[in-house]
Amino acid sequence: MTKQDVIKKAYEVSKEQYAALGIDTDAIVKKMNDVVISLHCWQTDDVGGFETPDSELSGGGIQVTGNYPGKASSIEQMRADLDKVLALLPGKQRLNLHAIYGEFGGKLVDRNEISIEHFQGWVDWAKERGMGLDFNATCFSHPRAADGFTLSSKNEENRKFWVEHVARCRAIAAEMGKQLGTPTVHNTWIPDGSKDVPVDRNGHRTLLKKSLDEAYAIEYPKEHMKDAVESKLFGIGAESMTVGSHDFYLSYAVKNNKLICLDNGHFHPTEQVGDKISACLQFVDEVLLHVTRPVRWDSDHVVTLGEDLQLIASEIVRNDFLSRVKIGLDFFDASINRVGAYVVGTRAAQQAFLIAMLEPTAKIKAMEEEGKNFERLAMLEIMKSKPWGAVWDYYCMQSNVPVAEDFIAEIQQYEDEVLTKR
Ligand code: RNT
Ligand code: ZN
> Are the CB atoms for 393 and 4 separated by under 8 Å?
no
Catalytic residues: 189, 230, 232, 263, 266, 290, 298, 300, 330
pLDDT of the residue at 51: 96
User: Taking phi first (over 0 means left), then psi (-120 to 50 degrees means alpha), and beta for anything else, what does residue 261 get?
Assistant: beta
Look at ligand 1, atom 10, and give the residue with the nearest C-alpha: 330
Q: How far is the CA of 189 from the centre of ligand 1 (A)?
A: 7
pLDDT of the residue at 53: 87
Q: How far is the CA of 289 from the centre of ligand 2 (A)?
A: 8
Does residue 301 sit in helix, strand or coil?
strand
Instruction: List pLDDT tens digits, range 145-193.
Output: 999 999 999 999 999 999 999 999 999 999 999 999 999 999 999 999 9
Q: How far is the CA of 181 from the centre of ligand 1 (A)?
A: 26
Does residue 68 sit in helix, strand or coil?
coil
- Of 417, 346, 373, 339, the residue nearest 72 (C-alpha): 339
Tell how many helices (H) and how many strands (E) occur in the chain. 14, 10
Does the predicted model carry a pTM greater than 0.75? yes
| Index of the ligand 1 atom closest to the CA of residue 261 | 9
pLDDT of the residue at 299: 96
The C-alpha atoms of residue 214 and residue 116 are separated, in whole angstroms, by 20
Which one of the ligands is nearest to 188 CA?
1
Q: Flag whether pLDDT at 330 surpasses 90.
A: yes
The C-alpha atoms of residue 120 and residue 172 are separated, in whole angstroms, by 9
Which one of the ligands is nearest to 136 CA?
1
Look at ligand 1, atom 5, and give the residue with the nearest C-alpha: 330
Instruction: Please list the residues that pair with 94 across neighbouring strands.
Output: 38
Other beta carbons less than 10 A from residue 160's beta carbon: 14
Cβ contacts of 407-414, under 8 Å, gap ≥ 24 = 407/88, 407/343, 408/340, 410/88, 411/84, 411/88, 411/337, 411/339, 411/340, 411/343, 414/84, 414/339
* Boundaries of every domain in the chain: 35-359
The C-alpha atoms of residue 152 and residue 241 are separated, in whole angstroms, by 13
Instruction: List pLDDT tens digits, range 21-74.
Output: 999 999 999 999 999 999 999 999 999 999 998 899 999 999 999 999 999 999
> Are the CB atoms for 59 and 237 separated by under 8 Å?
yes
Phi/psi at 68 (5° precision)? -60, 135
- Average pLDDT over every residue of 220-229: 98
Q: Tell the CATH topology of 35-359.
A: TIM Barrel (3.20.20)
Alpha carbon 317 to chain centroid, angstroms: 17
Give the single-character DSSP code of 303: P
